[in-house]
Each structure stands twice: as C-alpha cells, then as structure tokens.
Structure 1
Amino acid sequence: MTAYDSSARDLGTCIVRVCRDCCCGTEAKHPGVDHDGLLARLEVGTRGRARVLRSGCLLACDHSNVVVVTPSPAGRKAGGRPVWLQSVLDAATVDAISAWVACGGPGIASMPESVHEKAFAPTQLAATWTAV
C-alpha cells in the first residue's frame, strides 16, 4: 500500500488510489486495456484537484480494476466518505471520475450516474487496510 501523503490534505485535494501490483492493471486479467494510458489520463484529468497514488493490492480483486476516491478535508467535513469504484477499464469511466473529482468529489459534488454505477462496498478488511 502507498503511504498517505499529507501534502494532498494540506492542498484541500482528494486522494485517488489506483490499485496496482496485483491483478488490477495487468494484461493477464484485462487484455487489450491500456492500463498505463488510463492511469496517465486520470492523473492529467485530476491535476490540481487530486493526488493520484498507485497502491499495492487493495484486497478487492473481484472488482478489478479498483479506484478509491477519498474526499478532501472539506468533503470529509461535509459528510463525504471514500468511494470505491470497480471495473475502471475505459476512458469514459476515467473521464467521468476525473470530472467528478474536478468538481470537488465526495461530499462536495454529486456523483455522476456513470460513476455511481461503478461504486461498491468494500469488505471490512479492505476498508480497514486503506483507511485514512
């Protein structure tokens, strides 16, 4: 797991964890998906609004490719909680996540339907492993 970066919190940005280092992001599990290209697209699309972190296994392999959007301090104060997203495998999904984060993300902006459709509840172990 990637360590929490306090500078993201200081900037009032969201944290977006992208699962890697297991089955997520691999050609073996998702052939034909440009994993590096999608990650770069997410980094560019959220620039200035989120810190994108590559994470080791988030213990949610049945939902690969997993992305977790953690609210900014303002979003947390407004009631936002981390949102776990599954099957982040195409540019349209990455763009929808980026647009939502650019508007403030959890607790600040309404989640677009296309992002809401990807949301899932993590297991207790996974949620504990990634707690901020």
Structure 2
Amino acid sequence: MTAYDGASPGETTCIVRVCRDCCCGTEGKHPGVDHDGLLARLEVGTRGHARVLRSACLLACDESNVVVVTPSVAGRRAGGRPVWLRAVLDDETVDAITGWVALGGPGAEPVPAGLEDRVFAPSGLSLTWTAV
C-alpha cells in the first residue's frame, strides 16, 4: 500500500515551478538553449501529473536554469519535500523530470539517477523570499 492508494487526482498533482526572470530562461545567460521549447516540453510531459508554474526569480541565479519540483499532497504525506534542480538546459534533463513526475515525484519515488547531480539546497534567502 502506498500514499497514493485511494488518493484523488488533486492529491497526486505535483507543482513544477520554473524560474523565468532575471537570468533563468534567458538567451543572455544560456545562449543557444531553446528555453521556450524546454518549457513547452516540460508542460506537455507533465500534463495530468503536475501544474507547471512560471516563477519570478527564485534567488538561485548561480544555479540557473532552476526548476523546483514540489510534492503532491499525497507525496508530502509520504515524506516528500521540494526538490531544487540546477542546470535544466536540455531535453534529457527535462525528460528525466517529466518521467519522475509521471511516477509521482517527491515522496512517491526517489530522485532518478539522471537528476541526482542536479539537486541542490537553496539558500535561506531563496526559501524565505516571496514575490508580491
């Protein structure tokens, strides 16, 4: 029996927050990267499993492009916590994220091997800052 048994679809929906502000997602910081294409791939790949939100600066500019995968309600009940990922700059990384989210994401499944080296701990400032 898992935390997902008997859970409603709303309880199993993760949130995937994509930083798109001062440097993440910009040609200036990452020339030659199809930022819009990667975002579209993330949105399509997580459909039915997550809400993808574009965020203002997450204050982790040294790690860009930053994506935060927040567990679903059921995932949080199972012990999942938000996972911050750095350098989301290619199809393979986006596909690893979408595959993980399709399996339930944080709390349901461990971070896949293809993403382990991209996990980082955000600064305290990143965790406490909220946009107004």
Same fold (TM over 0.5): yes
Question: Root-mean-square deviation (CA), in Å?
Answer: 1.3
In structure 1, how many angstroms separate the alpha carbons of the residues matched to 2:66 and 2:117? 13
Q: Partner of 1:114: helix, strand, or coil?
A: coil
In structure 2, how many angstroms separate the alpha carbons of the residues matched to 1:107 and 1:11? 12
Structure 1 residue ranges without an equivalent (≥5):
1-8
Provide the residue aligned with 1:117 in structure 2.
Answer: 117
Q: Partner of 1:68: helix, strand, or coil?
A: strand
Displacement of 1:11:
5.0
Displacement of 1:101:
0.3
Percent sequence identity over matched residues? Answer: 74
Q: Partner of 2:114: helix, strand, or coil?
A: helix
Provide the residue aligned with 1:89 in structure 2.
Answer: 89
In structure 2, give the amino acid aligned to 1:117. D
Q: Partner of 2:53: helix, strand, or coil?
A: strand
- Kindly report structure 1 stretches of 4+ aligned residues shifted beyond 3 Å: none
Q: Are 2:112 and 1:103 equivalent residues in the alignment? A: no
Larger radius of gyration: 2
Q: Partner of 2:48: helix, strand, or coil?
A: coil
Deviation string 1:54-84 (CA, Å, 9 cap, x unpaired) is: 0000000000000000000000000000000
Provide the residue aligned with 1:18 in structure 2.
Answer: 18
Moved more, 89-98 or 121-130: 121-130
Asked if structure 1 preserves the Cα contact closer than 8 Å seen for 2:65 and 2:88, the reply is yes
Structure 2 residue ranges without an equivalent (≥5):
1-8
In structure 2, give the amino acid aligned to 1:84. W
In structure 2, give the amino acid aligned to 1:74. A
* Number of matched pairs: 122
Q: Give runs of aligned pairs for residues 24-35 of structure 1, distance below 5 A.
A: 24-35=24-35
Q: Give runs of aligned pairs for residues 17-56 of structure 1, distance below 5 A.
A: 17-56=17-56
In structure 1, how many angstroms separate the alpha carbons of the residues matched to 2:44 and 2:74? 22
